[in-house]
Structure 1
Amino acid sequence: MEAEQYETLAIKQNPPGSPVVHLCLNRPRQRNALSLEFFSEFPKALSSLDQNPSVSVIVLSGAGDHFCSGIDLKIFASIQSQSGSLRPGRASEWLRRDIKFLQDAITAIERCRKPVIAAIHGACIGGAIDIVTACDIRYCTEDAFFSVKEVDLAITADLGTLQRLPAIVGFGNAMELSLTGRRFSSQEAKELGLVSRVFGSKEELDQGVRTVAEGIAAKSPLAVIGTKSVLLKSRDMNVEQGLDYVATWNSAMLMSDDLTEAVSAQLQKRNPVFAKL
């Protein structure tokens, strides 16, 4: 896989040819703060990886000492500068379009068919919470810490945290974390269900995530993308609607070469080998 070049991201495939690809927030000197360039590059990178048949799982991490410190405050100065020259009404309409553009970059994680695993270390603050709540699986190091920080910047979080976090940690917990903006630990994140597992060090996190990602990558790609799609759709449906959706999905996908291979492998007591998607 040829590595594409981005200003705010790095893509790594280690070892070469692995179905697990690492998408790394790559502004370590700025604690991986999210710049305007990030919001253009991130959905492009995800789309590229999603369309690559050699990629089965994406691991999202941060370079340097922290996962991500949130949105680069220079974005707010840029927005104020651009909207300040517009008349009321037009300024609001322009700002709404700008917010929708930023939101779309985060929602690209859910739009990506391939599973996205967040590997979190150090700070995970503000906009970083928006990102990880859109990921499919979240793991962190023991020294990781979290904060829904927007209220301390006199803004209402608008890139997905207030929509996704309640379904993950519960409405009451999400309300408390969002209104206080308080910092909370990796252990509390685990107790709340924000992360599935806490690792003792960055090295242990990397190894643990690699094991999980490779395990998922070895499964039927049709089953994996179907499971992600159905879970995300069912989140916003009642049980009856969710069952109807998965029935429609499996009526199209169930009878596949992957099913034949999985059954044969079970009977022959061997590991299945699935074609790329």
Structure 2
Amino acid sequence: MSLTDEKFECFKIDIQDKIAHIILNRPEKMNSLPISFWSDLPRIINEIDHDALARVIVISSTGKHFSAGMDLSVFSDAENARNEENPKTDPGRKKGSFYKGLLKLQETFNCIDNSRIPVLMAIQGGCIGGAVDFASASDMRYCTEDAFFCIQEINIGMTADVGTFPRLPHLLPMGLVKELAFTGRRMFSNEAKDCGLVNNVFPNYDDMMKEVMKIAKEISKKSPLAIWGSKEAINYTRGRTIEEGLNQIAMWQAGMYNPQVDMKEALGAQIEKKDPEFEDLYPIKKGFGLL
């Protein structure tokens, strides 16, 4: 069964013209993120990436709000599991298990960083709690005028723990991140645009989706190998020196760059005044048959 034919609790998938559109589709639940989300998202993105099904991913949602964050069922299921435990359970082993479980949860959004292809996110209404972790992992963000962002965790007595704090300081000034984290206030679309959290703001959902798909289409026409190399180089610079970044891109060029392939195609297309036709990335082989 193809990915687009599968039935997911949270998602609808559409792949056309080298663009994969992942749609959060629980509007009646404000697109909150239940347990299935945390395993389905990496599976979907990894399959699109590993099988080279698209060159760009767009993530959006249905309904009034992008996402209300972690579904309350995730917390209640965890609490029920704790209540059912043997009271003689060793605290060290119990906490160690929780630690490894949280690391597994954090891996959900790492798939976006690790994907070879760009991930664009279109946000309307509320982007709350775990949805901020989600959004901060994407490569580019766009929103509607009615959008707002809220680190909701502080308002329910906890610390955001699945990606907001490692990623948001690379997108916003540190003092602003701390203000949002300590107060739990809402950052509205105009402020999000001014500080660079989103690339652009649109009057409504339809205008936003039209423009985001236009950008995705433009990206899909570029060399997918050059796009992958650019994403790798940009992400690599986080927490590293300029010298380290230069060395990384030099190694990439030495290993993956071939002027007789994509550059030749790009320059030839310019001379002939036509769109270049680049080869797709190859699927990532599994197991030991890598060659």
Partner of 1:91: 94
Selected match of 1:250 from 250, 253, 266: 253
1:116–1:136: 8 Å Cα contact kept in structure 2?
Answer: yes
What are the Cα deviations for residues 164-210 of structure 1, in whole angstroms up to 9, with x where unaligned?
10110111110111111101211111111110100111010010001
Q: Counterpart of 1:275 in structure 2: which amino acid?
A: E
1:268 aligns with 2:267: no
Structure-2 separation of matches of 1:172 and 1:34 = 28
Partner of 1:111: 114
SS of the residue corresponding to residue 59 of structure 1 reads strand
Partner of 1:49: 48
SS of the residue corresponding to residue 171 of structure 2 reads helix
| Residues 1:2 and 1:47: Cα distance change in structure 2 (over 3 Å) | closer
Partner of 2:129: 126
1:185 aligns with 2:188: yes
| Residues 1:152 and 1:33: Cα distance change in structure 2 (over 3 Å) | same
Deviation at 1:80, TM superposition (A): 2.2
2:142–2:212: 8 Å Cα contact kept in structure 1?
Answer: yes
Q: Counterpart of 1:50 in structure 2: which amino acid?
A: D
Structure 2 unaligned residues grouped into runs of 5+: 282-291
Deviation at 1:126, TM superposition (A): 0.6
Partner of 2:289: none
Structure 1 unaligned residues grouped into runs of 5+: none
Q: Counterpart of 2:268 in structure 1: which amino acid?
A: S
Partner of 1:206: 209
What are the Cα deviations for residues 72-114 of structure 1, in whole angstroms up to 9, with x where unaligned?
1221122222234243112211111121111001111111111
Deviation at 1:2, TM superposition (A): 5.3
1:194 aligns with 2:197: yes
Structure-1 separation of matches of 2:158 and 2:164 = 13
Structure-1 separation of matches of 2:181 and 2:236 = 25
Partner of 2:72: 73
Q: Counterpart of 2:197 in structure 1: which amino acid?
A: L
Partner of 2:14: 12
Partner of 1:62: 61
Partner of 1:222: 225
Q: Counterpart of 2:117 in structure 1: which amino acid?
A: K
Deviation at 1:262, TM superposition (A): 1.0
State, as a whole percentage, how many aligned pairs show the same letter.
Answer: 38
SS of the residue corresponding to residue 9 of structure 2 reads coil
Q: How many residues are aligned here? A: 274
Structure-2 separation of matches of 1:254 and 1:90 = 48
TM-score, normalised on structure 1? 0.95
Structure-1 separation of matches of 2:7 and 2:77 = 25
Q: Counterpart of 1:185 in structure 2: which amino acid?
A: F
2:56–2:219: 8 Å Cα contact kept in structure 1?
Answer: yes
Partner of 1:38: 37
1:70–1:127: 8 Å Cα contact kept in structure 2?
Answer: yes
Partner of 1:82: 81
The two structures, once aligned, show a CA RMSD in angstroms of 1.3
2:22–2:60: 8 Å Cα contact kept in structure 1?
Answer: yes
